[in-house]
A and B are shown apart, each in its own frame.
Chain A
Amino acid sequence: MIPRFSLTRPGSIEEALDAFDRAADDVAYLAGGTELLQVMKMGLAQFTTLIDLKGIAELKGISVLPVGTLRIGATSTHRDIERSPLVRERAAGLARLESRIANVRVRNAGTLGGNLAFAEPHSDPATFLLACGASLTLAGRAGRRELEVAEFAVGPLATAREQDEVLVEILIPAARPGEGRAYDKIAFFERPAASVAVRLTVVDGSIADATVAVGSLTDTPVVVTGAGGALQGAPVLGDGFAVALDAAAMALGGVEAMADLNGSADYKRHLAGVLLGRAAGVAVREATAHA
């Protein structure tokens, strides 16, 4: 049962911040509500004022900035992103990932901003954006600031966002020549049991650099430097690639995984290793196609 609350619908970020100031202590921003209302229903948090961000034009829309960066407004829904031709063209891995989140009802309501701001450890997009070196913009009373996605989530359900700050947009750098970005997950329940995102660049048939991010194992998605390092320098064809993949999977052994209903820490690390192999293969194919 959702306790009673009052709802305001600001038309701009300014108005939203004003509404935040005016409200009593227990106030929260509302986007799709797929997390927030659930949390309130379960009695895990109580808010008497909700500020609905969905009417703010600046938080909407998907576009490409002059430098080639893909800009996704924070209140873009998963469905908007999944269906956006710009995303499909410039971040195909993200479009695919979004199309596999939850079910169409959740994707129609839930937003990318809400997903990141909620900072659930099993988030799909957070893992992918981490590997891509994406950043995001926050707007608060103290002004605007840009943060790396890597700096944003600081723990389970905890972020670097100040209470009054509105998450405005997510910025994904353009892929460099020869770059491939891929993501894979395995899920037994609603959210992934394990997920892996790989970003790599292929130069002259071998991997020039690679970033591997792992989701759902730890409090927040993490970049596993050893795994990326193990791929670096590997040829993309033949045994060399397989050997590098094994080494990268070995490097995941050091991840401090948490057991949950999906399985033990060992098993989840094993799954991440399997996914790493799959995602790296896709990233290499994408990279070679872009070269």
Chain B
Amino acid sequence: MKRVTTRPTAPSPIGESVPRRDGPTKVTGSATYTVDVELPGMAHAQILRSPYAHARIRSIDAEAARRHPGVVAVVTAQDLPDVNLLYGHAIADHPLIATGKVRFAGEPVVGVIAEDRATAAEALRLIAVDYERLPFVTSVEEALADDAPIIHEEPGEQRSHRGFEEDIERTHPNVCSHSRQAWGDIDAAFEGAHLVVEGEYRYPMCYAYAMEPYTSVASWNEGALTVWSSAQHPYMVRDDLARCFGLPRGAVRVVVPFVGGGYGSKSYTKIEPLTAALALRAGRPVRLALTVDEAILTTRGDAATVRVRSAFDADGHLLGRHGAIHLNTGAYAENSPLVGRKAANRLGGPYRIPALQVDCSTVYTNTGPASSFRGFGAPQVTLAGESQMDEAAELLGLDPLEIRRRNLLDPGERPWPRARGIDADLKADLELAAEALGWDDPLEPGHGRAICMSASDAGSEPITTAMLRVHADGSVTVMVGSTEIGQGSSTVLPQIAAGEMGVPLDSVHLLQSDTGAVSYDRSTGASRTTTLMGLGIQAAASDAREQLVAWARDAVAQNGAPVVEERGGVRVAGTFHDWGSIVRAWFGADAGEVIGRGYLRRSGATAEMPPFWEIGCVGVEVRVDETTGEIDVLTLVTVGDVGAAINPQLVESQDVGAAMMGLGMAIREELVYENGNLLNGNLFDYRVPRTTDVPELRTIVVERGDGVGVYGAKGGGEGSLNPVAAAIANAVYRAAGIRLREAPFTPERVWQALRERDAGR
């Protein structure tokens, strides 16, 4: 890892690569995941899923299953008249269990609760469902045909937590949402153009593969509901549960134990309402633990078709960009309307574009529902945008780096009117990547290099609270609603607290993600936790210190002696008093504590949206095997431009992990539907990258202190995924002279392109 640091210094241990706090617990197997939660009297659920992509449910015969020994309850939608079955934070279109019809193969139809999983699984086989099959669509093209079967007869209720303001218009009954991003005079831009490049690019339907499949445990107690779940956003889940069961939010407690990976796939509500409904009918606590195969059917990433035209002047300056994006969103909206909004925002990339018009529709199809997935629209559109930069460079006779230098936004420049100015030095990042990749070094035959970039409006909403308690012995408890999903928040947040309070790291303890115990945070996503929760903790620490200084004046200083704040305490008349001693003095006992509070909203430093820009800057060198069509990614350069790296080692692992995820989707991963069924919904046939696929790594962590967060921090962890497919496509073009526009770039697609190239020669 190379570090480039120009930010102001920060108090230790901020900026230090301290070891992960959750590491030993996880590798020794002692971490408690949701599946390890055991409650007295707990029963186990299994789900009968639809075998058909689109069908009306005529009847369900579950009598034999109900009578099966060991079965506690069998639950269908008809058994839940007292529950609001529809959930969804953007559009409430998703029944927690199929009501009258199924919209994708794999949709939950019946839940069986039994004394153990095996008995529940046996009972599933005793259930007969009579389906009337309906015509189905699995692609956007089919879904938007005039005579396409309609997937949602009634549009779902639009909800407030969509993350964007505009209304959702439906131009076709199968359009789930539509977003437009536009500025400048687009027609004039294209009229005056020296060069227009045009193309259609496709990004596949992918699965995030978190090692832990979705798991929830639900327990009802005197009208209050507690749910343990593998959820990224416990507070959002709480709000959906309150709505489904008609409860006040305070009566719902969502607890998140250790989580085995998220990558966006565990954001928002998933199986929690279903588990809670099953527990309600069972009259007992219920655990629902999905398999990986079921998890694949629960959420995936949005597949995209991106048609783009870019207009350039003779010097390679971008004049305008026009885009039409269609996302294959699957059977339910989930978070795709927001993914669509972001895709529209992100097609412009990190460039100065005088005029832009991008329309993005998310489209319902009879496939598993798509939702948030690391990068969130950016990987999909960056393939298109960054391919066009290289295509234009070639036609204009420019070096791919040079065309980027001419168009990259300057620090502080606004990508679009009213957006926050870019909080990064993009040109400097590009040069760092070029140097690390050896841009000017001679290339072996069959090899190619490329560098691609992206800038994402990230951070979601700055709606965050934090609590920091200093105990009588001086130790500190930090309480946050953000989740440790493997990204390292349980290490980084204590580092910030320790630095801000001036206390040793091992005296800081963190409590996360329990809506009954910790205070509100909107979500753990959009790379926001270190930046926004970091600010929350900084504010809570400052609030705690302020109170402690006042308490010192009150209870420590004699006769109005001046109290001077120092690191970790105060000095009064030459004597140092640490925070714990102030608490003890104020309460007059070895007892009590101070509570510091931090609040963050759209105001002050976080008034402008987005809260920060997330930068992607990735370089690759590839080799193309012309006999088989295989692409070998030999070198991978990542530039983690994170403003301030609270823990550089964790930034590096996030960058490498993100880039490897991007590499998988670029060359191999794709969920394939045939006749309405998922063909490769398992880990045999859906291959994610392995350690043996990792290229030679050259990682750079850049800290210029230019973010809105503590000491200039801003988000990371998604940026290095976004440009990977484009970088590989552009590098393959340089290696073999073939332009790949449809990811994944499978060996066969490469081989076909090579044959077309040779036929054209």
Q: Which residues of A contact B (CB under 8 A)?
A: 1, 3-4, 186, 188-190, 193, 261-264, 267, 270-271, 274
**Whole-angstrom CA separation of A3 from B125 in the bound complex:** 11
Which residue on B lies nearest to A259, using beta carbons? Answer: B748
**Whole-angstrom CA separation of A278 from B72 in the bound complex:** 60
Residue B668 at the chain A interface, CB threshold 8 Å: yes
**Whole-angstrom CA separation of A271 from B627 in the bound complex:** 8
Contact string against A for B residues 726-758, beta-carbon threshold 8 Å, 1 for contact and 0 otherwise: 000000000000000000001110011000000
Which residue on A lies nearest to B668, using beta carbons? Answer: A188
**Whole-angstrom CA separation of A244 from B219 in the bound complex:** 72
- Whether the pair A271, B628 counts as a contact (CB closer than 8 A) is yes
- Whether the pair B118, A3 counts as a contact (CB closer than 8 A) is yes
Contact string against A for B residues 115-145, beta-carbon threshold 8 Å, 1 for contact and 0 otherwise: 0011001100000000000000000000000
If A1-B121, A4-B118, A261-B679 touch, whether A189 touches B627 (CB-CB below 8 Å) is no
Contacts of B680 in A (CB 8 A): 261
Residue B687 at the chain A interface, CB threshold 8 Å: yes
If A263-B746, A263-B748 touch, whether A186 touches B628 (CB-CB below 8 Å) is yes
- Most A-side CB within 10 Å, residue of B118, B629, B748: B748
Contacts of B668 in A (CB 8 A): 188
If A1-B117, A3-B121, A263-B747 touch, whether A274 touches B685 (CB-CB below 8 Å) is no
Given contacts A188-B668, A261-B680, 17 further A-B contacts (CB under 8 A): A1-B121, A1-B291, A3-B121, A4-B122, A186-B630, A188-B687, A189-B684, A189-B685, A190-B684, A190-B685, A261-B679, A261-B685, A263-B746, A263-B747, A263-B748, A264-B748, A270-B751
CB distance from A127 to the nearest CB of B (A): 18
**Whole-angstrom CA separation of A27 from B556 in the bound complex:** 81
Residue B634 at the chain A interface, CB threshold 8 Å: no
Residue B647 at the chain A interface, CB threshold 8 Å: no
**Whole-angstrom CA separation of A131 from B684 in the bound complex:** 27
**Whole-angstrom CA separation of A267 from B747 in the bound complex:** 9
Which residue on A lies nearest to B682, using beta carbons? Answer: A42
Residue B672 at the chain A interface, CB threshold 8 Å: yes
Residue B310 at the chain A interface, CB threshold 8 Å: no
Which residue on B lies nearest to A103, using beta carbons? Answer: B690
Residue B46 at the chain A interface, CB threshold 8 Å: yes
CB distance from A159 to the nearest CB of B (A): 21
- Most A-side CB within 10 Å, residue of B117, B630, B680, B751: B751
Contacts of B117 in A (CB 8 A): 1
Contacts of A4 in B (CB 8 A): 118, 122
**Whole-angstrom CA separation of A193 from B685 in the bound complex:** 12
CB distance from A269 to the nearest CB of B (A): 12
**Whole-angstrom CA separation of A263 from B684 in the bound complex:** 16
- Whether the pair A1, B685 counts as a contact (CB closer than 8 A) is no
Contacts of A264 in B (CB 8 A): 748
Contacts of A271 in B (CB 8 A): 628
**Whole-angstrom CA separation of A188 from B670 in the bound complex:** 13
**Whole-angstrom CA separation of A4 from B69 in the bound complex:** 14
Which residue on B lies nearest to A41, using beta carbons? Answer: B291
- Whether the pair B628, A1 counts as a contact (CB closer than 8 A) is no
If A1-B117, A3-B118, A261-B680 touch, whether A274 touches B748 (CB-CB below 8 Å) is no
Which residue on B lies nearest to A270, using beta carbons? Answer: B751
Q: Can you report 9 residue pairs joining A to B where beta carbons are below 8 Å apart?
A: A3-B122, A4-B122, A186-B628, A189-B684, A190-B685, A261-B680, A262-B748, A263-B748, A264-B748
Which residue on A lies nearest to B748, using beta carbons? Answer: A263
Contacts of A270 in B (CB 8 A): 751
- Whether the pair B122, A274 counts as a contact (CB closer than 8 A) is no
- Whether the pair B628, A274 counts as a contact (CB closer than 8 A) is yes
If A188-B668, A261-B679, A261-B685 touch, whether A267 touches B748 (CB-CB below 8 Å) is yes
**Whole-angstrom CA separation of A274 from B630 in the bound complex:** 13
Which residue on B lies nearest to A264, using beta carbons? Answer: B748
CB distance from A273 to the nearest CB of B (A): 9
CB distance from B633 to the nearest CB of A (A): 15
CB distance from B234 to the nearest CB of A (A): 28
